[in-house]
Amino acid sequence: METLRGRLTAWYATALFLSLAAFALVVYFTSRGASFQDLDQRIQSEANLTAGMLEESYRAGVVLVQEAPRRPPALVPELAATLEAVPDYLIITHRQGRVLFLSPDARALTFDQVEQLRALTAGPDTTPSSGSLRIDPDGPTLRYVVRPVTGAGPEFGKILAGASTAAAELAPQQLLSTLLLILALGLFIAYLVGAWIARRALVPVDRIITEVREITDGRSLHRRLAEGMEKDELSRLAATLNQMMERLERSFVSLRRFTADASHELKTPLTVLRAGVERALTTARVPQETLEVLEETLQEVNRMTELVDALLTLARADEGRAPLHLEPVDLRAIVAEAKETGELLAEKAGVTVEVGTPAQPVVLPLDQSRMRQLILNLLTNAVKYTPRGGRIRVTLGSADGRAQFSVSDTGIGIAPGDLPHVFDRFWRADSARTRTGERPGTGLGLAICKWIAEAHGGTIEVQSRPGRGTTFTVTLPLEGGKPAAAGAQPAAAEP
């Protein structure tokens, strides 16, 4: 079972089933033992009643055994007629081992089967005995008792009383069938009841999971879980999670405040430093070696300024202090404006840029500066990782009430294992994406793109294959304006 609810249901159903099975076994064996005990008492009573009848008749002076020339001795007809009413197997033997009387059930047996029973009465033993016997071949299984006859004269030997176990086993077998049916029904009911109990018991856990899942980032750490009035395990769990989120919230607030303050404080000295370097570069009679050092310094200052601006943007976004100034804008105009900047970058890198926009306006509420920043970040990223002679395609369209534009390139691509991390802050896929190599960067551009897209209620996705290029797709909700035709074709490539 993959879920706790499934395991609880299985455990409860198994425990209840095993309890029912144990109860069924106890009932079955108790019933079977009681049936055999009743059977033993019955045949014991038959043997005692027969012996008592013979002894009373002997004391009354009645002749019990008749003997005739050339005929074996037998019980007198009057007494034999009385014993005919015995419903089970009854055998009375002579002291010499001959059979004096057979009950109707015993007479229904074959000679060999009767001899098998008579052999149980043989021997001089004068103590009663009992047991079970399977009469061969294919005969019934009997429970029997053998007792000597001591007070009915010298002619009598022993009495064997027996009964088939089929009747004693019938009731337990019927009970067993009923119990098996009840067990099957009980297992089904146990599963249903177990599922209901597990679901009811885990409702608070599901609620905690839902509330914790909604706390997706540092901006929602102010939320707290509801703690139950009962101080049970779940209440203690909620309290522990609340304490953990309180500590995390303090840590995130401190980190954001530090990032925002540090970024803000760095802007002024960087601006002064850049102004000083630029002024030094325009000074006459500066040695060539010094100019080279100043140019490298200016590049690093610009890169540091870019990093500080990105950090300040993300810090303000995390704190909710980066509001969007939304107004209805035709997205085609922003794409066209970004295209001009992208073409300048692409021309320098030897890359071709193609832009395809629909004929109809794509109007939606946007923050123009932020959306321009998003598109330029994607274009800059595409130019940076597309080798000379490659191609970049920007496509804009709309469908199903949503605007969508994508930026595709034929660059180096991204490995599948790196795709889930491309929007992480400061993430760089490989050594080719270092900050000091041929493709320098801060590793914050795509994180800012993700924030801008989500701040507008949209999404940004990436698809890539190593060596086959990368495609970033931004989807935004389309409100106001007539939706543009979907699937517009890109314009002809422009140098």
217 vs 104, more confident = 104
Confidence at residue 95, expressed as pLDDT on a 0 to 100 scale: 84
| Count of other CB atoms within 10 angstroms of residue 13 | 21
pLDDT digits 0-9 by tens, 27-79: 888 888 898 899 899 999 999 999 898 888 888 888 888 877 777 888 888 88
pTM of the entire structure? 0.48
265 is in which domain, residue-wise?
233-318
> Which carries the bigger pLDDT value, residue 450 or residue 234?
450
Please tell me the distance from the alpha carbon of residue 278 to that of residue 290, in angstroms, as a whole number.
13
Do 422 and 287 share a domain, yes or no? Answer: no
Residue 407 backbone phi and psi in degrees, to 5: -125, 115
- Among 127, 150, 169, which residue terminates a domain? 169
pLDDT of residue 145: 92
Q: Is the domain of 378 the same as that of 442? A: yes
Residue 146 resides in a domain: yes
Same domain, 18 and 98: yes
CATH of the domain at 426: 3.30.565.10
Question: Cα separation of 386 and 411, whole Å?
Answer: 4
* Among 374, 295, 386, 376, residue whose Cα is nearest residue 339: 376
For residues 43 and 25, state if they share a domain. Answer: yes
Residue 486: pLDDT band (50, 70, 90) is: very low
Q: Is residue 484 part of a domain?
A: no
Q: What are phi and psi of 156, to 5 degrees?
A: -90, 145
**Can you give the pLDDT at residue 470?**
92
Question: The tokens of 406 are what?
Answer: 């994508």
Examine the fold and report which residue of 169, 201, 223 is the final residue of a domain before the chain moves on.
Answer: 169
Omega before residue 137 within 30° of 0, cis: yes
Sign of the alpha-carbon dihedral angle for 84, 88, 92, 97: positive
Maximum Cα interatomic distance, the chain, rounded to a whole number of Å: 164
3-state class (DSSP) for residue 163: strand
pLDDT single digits (tens) 169-205: 888 888 888 888 888 888 888 888 888 888 887 787 7
Out of 66-75, 82-91, 152-161, 238-247, least confident range: 66-75
The predicted structure's pLDDT at residue 7: 80
Residue at 210 is within a domain: no
Q: Are 71 and 86 in contact (CB under 8 A)?
A: no
Do residues 31 and 159 share a domain? yes
- How high is the pLDDT of residue 423? 86
Residues 312 and 347 occupy one common structural domain: no
Task: With beta carbons less than 8 A apart as the criterion, state whether 439 and 412 touch.
Answer: no
Q: From 74, 116, 104, select the one nearest 92 (Cα to Cα).
A: 74
Does 294 or 70 have the greater pLDDT score?
294
Q: How many residues does the chain have?
A: 495
Q: Which of 310-314, 428-432, 487-491 has the highest mean pLDDT?
A: 310-314
Tens digits of per-residue pLDDT, 324-375? 788 898 999 998 888 888 888 888 888 999 889 888 888 889 888 889 989 9
> pLDDT per residue over 387-400, tens digit each?
988 999 999 988 88
Give the pLDDT band (50/70/90) at residue 218: low
- Same domain, yes or no, for 70 and 18? yes
In the block, which residue shows the tokens 């493709």? Answer: 439
Which residues share a beta bridge with 471?
A: 408, 463
Higher pLDDT, 379 or 310: 379
Among 152, 169, 186, which residue terminates a domain? 169
Q: Are the CB atoms for 47 and 161 separated by under 8 Å?
A: yes
The CATH code of the domain that includes 158 is 3.30.450
Inside any domain, residue 188: no
Under the banding of pLDDT at 50, 70 and 90, the label for residue 485 is: very low
Tens digit of pLDDT for each residue in 389-439? 899 999 998 888 889 989 999 988 888 888 888 888 777 655 444 444 455
Could you give the CA distance from residue 227 to residue 249 in angstroms, rounded to a whole number?
19
CATH number at residue 276: 1.10.287.130
DSSP 430-448: SGGG-SSSSS---S-HHHH
Q: What element of type H or E holds 164?
A: strand 156-164
Mean pLDDT of the chain: 81
For the chain, what percent of residues have pLDDT higher than 70? 87
Q: Report the 10 Å Cβ neighbour count for 440.
A: 14
Instruction: Assess contact for 43 and 191: CB atoms under 8 A.
Output: no
> Please, are residues 403 and 362 in contact by the beta-carbon 8 Å criterion?
yes
Per-residue tokens: 298: 């200016």
pLDDT given for residue 41 in this prediction: 92
Q: Are residues 331 and 462 in the same domain?
A: yes
Question: Is the domain of 388 the same as that of 408?
Answer: yes
On whether residue 283 sits in a domain, the answer given is yes
Q: What is the per-residue pLDDT for 409?
A: 92
Looking at the fold, whether 150 and 67 belong to one and the same domain comes out as yes
Mean pLDDT of 450-472: 90
> What pLDDT band is residue 441 in, cutting at 50, 70 and 90?
low
Do 241 and 374 lie in one domain? The reply is: no
Per-residue pLDDT reduced to its tens digit, 313-328? 777 676 666 677 888 9
Question: How many structural domains are present in the chain?
Answer: 3
Query: Residue 393: its pLDDT value, please?
Result: 92
391-399 and 352-356 beta bridge pairing: parallel
Q: 112 versus 435: which is more confidently predicted? A: 112
| Inside any domain, residue 200 | no
239 within some domain: yes
Judge if 288 and 427 occupy the same domain. no
Q: Is residue 218 part of a domain?
A: no
What type of residue is 319? Answer: E
